[in-house]
Amino acid sequence: MSAIEIRGLRKSYRVYQKKEGLWASLTGLFHREYREVDAVRGIDLDVEQGEFVAFLGPNGAGKTTTLKLLSGVISPTVGQARVLGHVPWERENSYRRKFALVMGQKNQLWWDLPAQESFRLHQKIYRIDPTEFDRTRDELVDLLEVRHLLGQPVRELSLGERMKMELTAALLHSPDVLFLDEPTIGLDVIAQHNIQKFLKHYQQQRKITILLTSHYMKDVAALCKRVVIIAHGDIMYDGSLAGIVDRFSGHKELTLQFADDRMPSDLARYGEVLEIVEPKARLRVERGSIAEVLSAVLANHSVEDVSVEDPPLEEVIAEMFALTADQSRESRDANRQPAQSVTQSS
C-alpha cells in the first residue's frame, strides 16, 4: 500500500466578485456575484513509503492547498485521499502522531519563548516518552548544530536558525510522513545548503516519506529523484528530474572555445547567441540539430574545446509554467461561464 494515495481530489472556493464604487458596494449588500475557483482540480497521485518527492508549480498552482488537504487542515470539495491508511480531514489523533507539516512562511514556535520551551509543549501534546523525547531532541539539535541556541528566544534567531528549530519541532514525535512547504524560502545559500544536507541525511536514515514544495531548483536537484509538477490545479508531469528536460526543453546549450582567439563573425548562423566572452561563445541550438551544427562548426572553424549541456533546470521549468499557463488560459476562454448571481436578504 502506498504511503499517500489521492484519487480525484478537488478543492474549490467560492469567491465574491466585488465591484468598484460606492453604489456597487451598497448593491453588493443585497445582490452578490460569485465565481468558483478551483485550487485543486481532481488530481490523482500515489507516493510510496520512503520516497522523497518534489511537488512543484507556479504561485497559485495548488501546491500548498494540496499539502493542507493531506494534513487535514482543510477538507476537499470532492475526492478521496489516504495517508498511511488515514483520511486526513477526519483528524484522528492516531494520524496526527504520524505526520508533520512545516511551512516556511508560518511559525509553530512561541515567538517570545526559547525553542526548548516549545519543544516541551510538543512533548506534552504528542505524549512523547521523556526518555525518547530527550534522545530525539538531542539527536536533532546536534545534527542541525543548534544546541547552543535552545535557550535563546525565537524572535532573536536568524531566519535560518528559526527554520532549523521548526524542523526540530516537527520531527520530535518521529513522524512517518513529512510535508515541507518552502522550507528554504528567504534563506541564504549557506543556510539552504545546511537544510538540504540535514533533510537528505535524515530521510536516508529514517526512510520517511517526504513531500516537498519549493521554488528553489537546487533543493529539488539535491534531494528528489521524482518530481510532480502541478499547474492550475492539474498535475502536468510526474517523473524523473532528467525527464523534465527531455520532455519540455527543445534545445541544448553549445559552448565553443575557438583557437588563437579567432572568434567567427557568423555565429548566429549556427544558433541563438547567448553569450560571447572571447575566445568562448555560448549558443542555444535546437536539440535535433546538435550533430549537424557541430559538424558545420568543426568543418569551418578551429575549435579547441566543445561542451554540450542541457539548459538550466530553472529555465526549463519556467518555460513549462509559461506553456501550461497559455494552455490553461485558452481552456478557460473556451469554457468561460458567467458568474452566478445570489440575492441575499438583509
In the chain the domains, ranked by start, together with CATH numbers, are 4-246 (3.40.50.300), 250-309 (3.30.70)
Torsion of CA 79, 84, 88, 90, to 10 degrees: 100
Confidence of residue 333 (pLDDT cuts 50, 70, 90): low
Residues 226, 237: Cα–Cα separation, whole Å:
10
Crossing angle of helices 159-171 and 189-206, rounded to 10°? 10
Q: What percent of the chain has pLDDT over 90?
A: 56
Per-residue pLDDT at 9: 94
Residues 123, 130: Cα–Cα separation, whole Å:
8
Phi then psi for 234, rounded to 5 degrees? -115, 145
Looking at per-residue pLDDT, the higher value among 345 and 192 belongs to: 192
Per-residue pLDDT at 332: 52
All three cell numbers of 246, joined, read 527531455
Confidence of residue 342 (pLDDT cuts 50, 70, 90): very low
Per-residue pLDDT at 343: 43
Looking at per-residue pLDDT, the higher value among 261 and 16 belongs to: 16
- 42-46, 163-167, 244-248, 264-268 — which is least confidently predicted? 244-248
- What's the chain's Rg over C-alpha atoms? 25
Q: What is the DSSP letter of 238?
A: E
- What average pLDDT score do residues 214-242 get? 88
Q: Using one digit for the tens of pLDDT, what is the confidence trace for 108-143?
A: 899 999 999 999 999 999 999 999 999 999 999 999
334 CB neighbour count, 10 Å cutoff: 7
Question: In 145-174, which residue ranges form alpha helices assigned H by DSSP?
Answer: 159-171
Residues 184, 315: Cα–Cα separation, whole Å:
20
296 CB neighbour count, 10 Å cutoff: 13
Q: Give first-to-last CA distance, the chain, whole Å.
A: 52
Per-residue pLDDT at 14: 85
Q: Does the structure show a pLDDT above 80 at 86?
A: yes
Q: Does the structure show a pLDDT above 60 at 339?
A: no
Q: Using one digit for the tens of pLDDT, what is the confidence trace for 300-314?
A: 888 899 999 988 888
E-strand stretches of the chain: 4-16, 31-47, 52-56, 78-83, 99-103, 177-181, 209-213, 226-231, 234-240, 251-258, 272-277, 280-286, 303-309, 340-343
All three cell numbers of 73, joined, read 487542515
